[in-house]
Amino acid sequence: MSQQQVWFITGSSRGFGRALTAAALEAGDLVVATARRPEVIAEAFGEYGERVLPLALDVTDPDAAGEAVEAALARFGRVDVLVNNAGYANVSPIETTDDKDFRTQFETNFWGVYHVTRAALPTLRAQGHGTVVQFSSVGGRVGGSPGIASYQAAKFAVDGFSRVLAAETAPFGLRVMVVEPSGFATDWAGSSMTVQPVPEAYDETVGVLNRRVRQSEGGAAGDPRRAAEILVRTVKREKIPSHLLLGVNAVDMALDYSRRQLSEATAWEKVSRSADFAEPYPEGLPEEPMGRAEPKERRGPAEPVRPAEPTG
């Protein structure tokens, strides 16, 4: 692996993308920093001169993605690390979300990842090396954050896409890592987020998440600079994790989710196996816990709602 790496980072004008651009440059690397407004990048990182290439890129445009990769190759000759970071979320319940807004979010959060990855793959494959870093969220692992269905569905899709990508490209010497942060002090819940009116019926779910994420006096716990430095150090290792959690909340939520998944799969194991022809059938269903509460007319979330989403 080359000591000085060439990074291609989407969404570099703010948030994680900006922090990661700074960390890579501080580590002595070269960066193709893309955003819808490249002049912001040029102003922020002008001191690095020819080591940074600011490029305009709308990740939802596959032709523009291809042109950006070609520009990167023209300047630096290769791409060592591709980072799909660009993304945003708007808040509204599924029932009242505008179809166009739901699709538009998905265009950036999933199809943007798809377009940029596809554009870079021929180069990465021909090089015989490269690392693809896909920004997801701990919400893309555990799910269930009310009000951001499009964003979270896209992050689950990014994870599934990335798992297949890793399997397909491993023989070419490529590595794929999915990053799953919890709440960080970025603009994710700031000006880049639109919050639609929350109907009263959803105040206990969507309303709670909105208030905790956007009106928290303490702010997010995560430090984007630290996270960016961790990512740069991790990518330079010989072995990288397939999924990297970032932040205390991310670790706690992921471990709790994994334990509950394992417990549920174990409890239903015999029933699940009995669906195959060769297995004993029928199997009795697991006993339900005693003292179940009767359903109420209105119920809140089954689990505490914790802000889980970071990217922007």
- pLDDT tens for 225-249 read 999 999 999 999 999 999 999 999 9
Q: How many domains does the chain have?
A: 1
Average of pLDDT values for 193-211? 85
- pLDDT tens for 23-36 read 999 999 999 999 99
Active site residues: 136, 151, 155
Q: Is the pLDDT of residue 304 over 60?
A: no
Cα distance between residue 141 and residue 244, in whole Å: 11
In this prediction, residue 194 carries a pLDDT of 75
Strands 81-84 and 52-56: unpaired
Residue 236 lies in a domain: yes
In this prediction, residue 210 carries a pLDDT of 76
Residue 49 lies in a domain: yes
Asked which of 61-70, 154-163, 206-215, 236-245 is least confident by mean pLDDT, the reply is: 206-215
Is the peptide bond prior to 282 cis by the omega test (within 30 degrees of 0)?
Answer: yes
In this prediction, residue 299 carries a pLDDT of 39
Q: Is the pLDDT of residue 311 over 50?
A: no
Residue 147 lies in a domain: yes
Residue 297 lies in a domain: no
Cα distance between residue 13 and residue 117, in whole Å: 20
Residue 100 lies in a domain: yes
Residue 266 lies in a domain: no
In order, the DSSP letters of 176-228 are: EEEEEE--BSSSTTTTT--BPPPPGGGIIIIIHHHHHHHS-SS--SB-HHHHH
CATH code of 78's domain: 3.40.50.720
**What confidence category does residue 263 fall into, taking pLDDT thresholds of 50, 70 and 90?**
very high
- pLDDT tens for 144-192 read 999 999 999 999 999 999 999 999 999 999 999 999 999 887 664 555 6
In this prediction, residue 187 carries a pLDDT of 61
Containing domain of residue 48, as a range? 6-248+255-259
CB neighbours of 89 closer than 8 A, spacing ≥ 6? 105, 109, 148, 150, 151, 188, 193, 309
**What confidence category does residue 217 fall into, taking pLDDT thresholds of 50, 70 and 90?**
low
Average of pLDDT values for 271-286? 97
Q: Is the pLDDT of residue 6 over 90?
A: yes
Average of pLDDT values for 253-268? 98
Task: Report helix, strand and coil shares of the chain as percent, to nearest 5.
Answer: 50, 15, 40
Cα distance between residue 181 and residue 31, in whole Å: 22
Average of pLDDT values for 244-256? 96
In this prediction, residue 312 carries a pLDDT of 40
In this prediction, residue 213 carries a pLDDT of 63
In this prediction, residue 229 carries a pLDDT of 97
**What confidence category does residue 197 fall into, taking pLDDT thresholds of 50, 70 and 90?**
confident
Rounded to the nearest angstrom, the gap between the alpha carbon of residue 159 and the centroid of all alpha carbons in its chain is 8
**Encoded tokens for 271:** 């029933």
Residue 310 lies in a domain: no
Q: CB atoms < 10 A from the CB of 214, how many?
A: 13
Q: Is the pLDDT of residue 57 over 90?
A: yes
**What confidence category does residue 254 fall into, taking pLDDT thresholds of 50, 70 and 90?**
very high
- pLDDT tens for 95-140 read 999 999 999 999 999 999 999 999 999 999 999 999 999 999 999 9
Residue 40 lies in a domain: yes
Q: Is the pLDDT of residue 309 over 90?
A: no
